[in-house]
Amino acid sequence: MALAATVRSQLLHFLGSSLPYVTFLPAVLGTFLYSGIPAGLFATFLSICYVSYHLDNPLGQMLLVHNDTERAIACVSIVSCLLMCLVARLLRDARRRALDAEQQARAAEERSVIQANLRESELQHQEATQALNAELEQRVRERTAELEAAMREQESFSYSVSHDLRAPLRHINSFSALLLEDHGTELPDEARSYLHRIQGATRGMGSLIDHLLELSRLSRTELTREWVDLSALAAAITTMLQETEPQRQVEVCIEKNTLVRADRHLMNQLLTNLLGNAWKYSSLRQPARIEFGRSWVDGQEVFHVSDNGVGFDMAHSARLFVAFQRLHGAEFEGTGIGLATAQRIVQRHGGTIWAKGQIGEGATFYFTLCPQGVSPQG
Task: Tell me what pLDDT residue 305 has.
Answer: 94
Task: Tell me what pLDDT residue 365 has.
Answer: 93
DSSP 8-state assignment for residue 328 = S
Question: Structural domain boundaries of the chain?
Answer: 1-169, 224-373
Task: Tell me what pLDDT residue 1 has.
Answer: 46
| Residue 253 phi, psi (nearest 5) | -125, 115
Task: Tell me what pLDDT residue 280 has.
Answer: 87
Task: Tell me what pLDDT residue 31 has.
Answer: 65
The H or E element that residue 161 is part of is: none
Task: Tell me what pLDDT residue 230 has.
Answer: 94
- Residue-level length of the chain: 378
DSSP 8-state assignment for residue 302 = E
In Å, what is the CA distance from 306 to each residue of 16, 115, 318?
A: 123, 68, 18
| Residue 17 phi, psi (nearest 5) | -110, 15
- Point out which residues pair with 263 in neighbouring strands: 225
Round to whole Å and give the CA distance between 332 and 193.
Answer: 20
For residues 281 and 331, is the Cβ–Cβ distance under 8 A?
no
Distance of CA 62 to the CA centre of its chain: 84
Q: Name the CATH superfamily, with its identifier, for domain 224-373.
A: Histidine kinase-like ATPase, C-terminal domain (3.30.565.10)
> If you write DSSP's letter for every residue of 24-84 in order, what string do you get?
GHHHHHHHHHHH-HHHHHHHHHHHHHHHHHHTT--GGGTT--SSHHHHHHHHHHHHHHHHH
Round to whole Å and give the CA distance between 18 and 34.
Answer: 29
Q: Which long-range contacts (CB under 8 A, 24 or more apart) does 78-85 make?
A: 78/21, 78/44, 78/48, 80/25, 81/21, 81/24, 81/25, 81/28, 81/29, 81/40, 81/44, 81/47, 82/41, 82/44, 84/25, 84/28, 84/29, 85/28, 85/29, 85/32, 85/37, 85/40, 85/41, 85/44
Round to whole Å and give the CA distance between 143 and 167.
Answer: 35
Cβ-Cβ contacts under 8 Å for 195 (sequence gap 6 or more): 176, 179, 180, 187
Helix (H, G, I), strand (E, B) or coil at 130: helix
Regarding beta strands 353-358 and 300-307, do their DSSP bridges make them parallel or antiparallel, or are they unpaired? unpaired
Each residue's pLDDT expressed in tens, for the chain with a length of 378 residues: 455 455 555 555 554 544 455 556 666 666 666 566 666 666 666 666 655 555 544 433 444 444 555 556 556 656 666 666 667 677 778 888 888 899 999 889 888 889 888 998 888 888 888 889 989 999 988 888 887 777 677 667 666 666 667 777 777 888 888 888 888 778 888 888 888 888 777 776 776 677 666 666 666 667 788 999 999 999 999 999 888 888 888 899 999 989 999 988 889 889 988 998 898 888 888 889 999 999 988 888 999 999 998 888 787 777 777 765 555 545 556 556 778 888 888 988 889 999 898 888 889 999 998 865 444 443
B/e letters for 96-112, b = 16+ CB within 10 Å, e = fewer, are eeeeeeeeeeeeeeeee
Round to whole Å and give the CA distance between 219 and 55.
Answer: 114
Round to whole Å and give the CA distance between 320 and 356.
Answer: 11
